[in-house]
A and B are shown apart, each in its own frame.
Chain A
């Protein structure tokens, strides 16, 4: 995928269904990767794929030639082709010999690649990603306590720098996978697996859970946005801020509705809402999708999601809320102030 500019407008437009750039590859394709955590493996993958295709073609040609060259005429189907139980062994010697050399070579190449994709000793950022059924909570670590913050489902990282990812599970086994940046790493309860990412080009990279985790495994996506240093600094500054106090009466009513219906599960920093069962919504409007990548973040989709999440993502842990029309629009108004 040719990476887009990191400007929000372009990203939002693209993710809201406008076609990707004309010659773009599909968003989850890892035929090309964009960083050192994935590139050596991509090269190895292409190498193995080419060898595989050559092998299949060669064997197919040999098989067709073998089958057709001395095909039995109907003359005497009962006669044997040979008189002694011998012959043909060079096929095995050569075939198995060549295969062994190729296999050993690929095994050696693989070992070098394992070393090449290992996490560098110095990383600039550590993220603690907690996977839950069926969304991703992300905590930005820092040595300074007041620079720690939590978001959900859309990760921003500085372009060109290695980022350490520590993986924890809230429930079952999941797998953290951003195919255009790196291979999968499973998220296993009871242990903390560590992986890393580095995006060498700015842009948005899609990811999806890579280990079957229940009913909505199909809808557990996430996005990694690689920002230029300036854009990243701006984004972090915005995320660190508490939610702005509601300015209008409608927004204040909305906050009340939100606290009544949503605060048990969701958190908005700077308010009384401190729920941890669902995604942190402090800066909901800074995200391009909702429901773990299921829908573009538009007012219509947000309304549909809050009104009946079960219709859109059956089995999801967000219950279908029987909100009155008034509560729904009030909550919506409030949410849309959470930039």
Chain B
């Protein structure tokens, strides 16, 4: 290609007419074989699968922690665990599930699927994508290193001061938690930046903002939320570390500090976070349910707007985690009212899903069961939250098992169920094979029944007054039988998860091979092979509606999508950049290829944080220098990427 200028008319090609296109693109986009290739890979599909596998590993660890706790609580006055052991387990259970599973698993789906859903060849920042994975992995290991060194954090995942301050918790455990969270925050932030810029800039031509799948809306919203929320918790943990190890006084009363400052900063992050970990999952349902109801989602615009509204309102309710702290009644009333209002956009979703099922022709596949069952657990979780929105009721319910019920209904119900359903749904796309339907249905029923038997009684336990975060309880308070039932239900649920994992394992080996679109789904990812080639699309698709692959079966569509003909963009790794609202092509983007810089920078960062943890300032300094050098090398302008006056060509 003799393109010497910085301008070019992109070639339009038809892959069906030219088999060499696929070969050429394969060569350009494939990851080099071997372990260096694997470590340097920036393929969003690999990164997505890594996120999924790693977050499931953490899910299992968190589940094991819960299993041990439930054994301890199955009967009153048990001594299976010491109080300290129990407190470490419940803390790490929360940390693991909320930070190391719930968001990363959704990042996994989004990383794999977004470029496919959006008709693109990669995320906007491929190397940053790899970096966000490595930092996630290392921060998870960093946090779990607390177990082998004998001191896991034990002040709860919410880590309130003064209990988490040096005076009451002198060990290295809290520092591990604090610094680990700051490190994880880096991963979350850069991951969010990647999603936002990808959505704004790299959609296929014609994929206007109102044609974007709801999973994309959900992840986008979560990412914008994270951009604004994560700094609060990173700052809180950093300030705590400074109080603990440098004698500062942000939170300690004797120096004029404020214990409640911790809670405000933590929950200013914490509440938007809980929406970040469910909105993309709700998007999975909004995109998956239509496939199995054989019709488009009812109320797409309402659902998209409701997604954004929920996140915006989510920044205005954080005090509802602090209703018992003695704040002024006016403040409590405002946040109580806001907490009622935030239920409204959730109702939009529920009725959209109901309407889609009612007006559609449901197919009782495993994904459908998970997506439909999710609606019930979503509503139960929602109404228990609605009850806690009322301040005078909340001051009874808060810190009891009622809230434990609520949070598990919203987290397991609104995150795990869509995730498991989503894996069944997209498994063929990820791996080229289908999961076993029969085992899948058994999995659903055992998980659903086990979950409800395990967690519904917690509502009752809560109103019978059992507090949270207790390593044991007395007999004679009416709590014993319920706790036993809960333990049994939890184990049944865990068995269901085990069946799911067995299904994944077996299907990877012997699952029925899948074609490009085994479910006859409507969106662009089903136009690629299963699994897709490294370059995703041989030519960039053009999009004419929300459901490109259903256009031929529906009338009244505004335009015609096509994957048969489009921009070839094969002068190295390239994709098309399009305008924000209407996705008009406006630039040819040069994409970075595989690189070890993300991994090296991640390693340097972890060493930096280890230096801070053990307060070895020479280690810190060396790692800082290494990090800066790695960053400079990474950002060094490259001709190949079109960042310098001379643009290089393949």
Contacts and interface: CB of A to CB of B under 8 A. Distances in A.
B302 interface: yes
Contacts of B333: 111, 114
Contact of A26 (B163, B347, B352, B465): B465
B332 interface: yes
B34 interface: no
Nearest to B353: A63
Interface in B381-418: 383-384, 386-387, 389-400
A26 B391 contact: no
Interface stretch (B21-29, B236-244, B548-556): B548-556
A28 interface: yes
B160 A212 contact: yes
A81 B294 contact: yes
Contacts, number: 301
Interface residues of B, number: 98
B324 interface: yes
B359 A88 contact: yes
Contacts of B393: 41, 44-45, 48, 110, 113, 183
A185 B162 contact: no
Given A81-B359, A179-B465, A212 B555 contact: no
Contact of A184 (B302, B354, B389, B398): B398
A189 interface: yes
Given A80-B295, A84-B554, A315 B384 contact: no
B468 interface: yes
Contacts of A217: 467, 469-470
A77 B467 contact: no
A10 interface: no
Interface in A6-47: 17, 19-20, 25-31, 38, 40-42, 44-45
Interface string A245-267: 00000000000000000000000
Contacts of A314: 82-84
A171 B253 CA distance: 10
Contacts of B294: 72, 79-82
A89 B347 contact: no
A114 B83 contact: no
B379 A56 contact: yes
Interface string A103-115: 1101101110110
B363 A77 contact: yes
Q: Which of A49, A51, A65 has the most CB of B within 10 A?
A: A49
A172 B396 contact: no
Nearest to B262: A173
A59 B162 contact: no
Interface in A181-217: 183-186, 188-191, 193-194, 208-217
A104 B337 CA distance: 8
Interface residues of A, number: 92
A25 B546 CA distance: 56
Contact of A66 (B341, B357, B555): B357
Interface stretch (B132-140, B434-442, B473-481, B607-615): B473-481
Interface stretch (A91-99, A148-156, A268-276): A91-99
Given A28-B464, A190-B253, A91 B298 contact: yes
Contact of A52 (B300, B387, B476): B387
A179 B396 contact: yes
A71 interface: yes
B520 interface: yes
B326 A114 contact: no
Given A52-B387, A80-B550, A193-B326, 17 more contacts: A28-B465, A52-B383, A55-B383, A56-B376, A56-B380, A59-B379, A80-B554, A92-B298, A96-B348, A107-B341, A110-B336, A113-B393, A114-B329, A114-B332, A173-B162, A177-B467, A218-B470
25 contacts: A25-B478, A26-B476, A44-B390, A48-B387, A63-B376, A66-B357, A77-B520, A79-B553, A82-B359, A85-B547, A88-B352, A91-B358, A92-B302, A92-B348, A110-B389, A113-B393, A114-B329, A114-B333, A114-B391, A171-B162, A184-B398, A210-B398, A212-B155, A213-B163, A217-B469
7 smallest CB-CB distances across A and B, nearest first, come from A28-B465, A183-B395, A26-B478, A190-B253, A95-B351, A88-B355, A88-B298
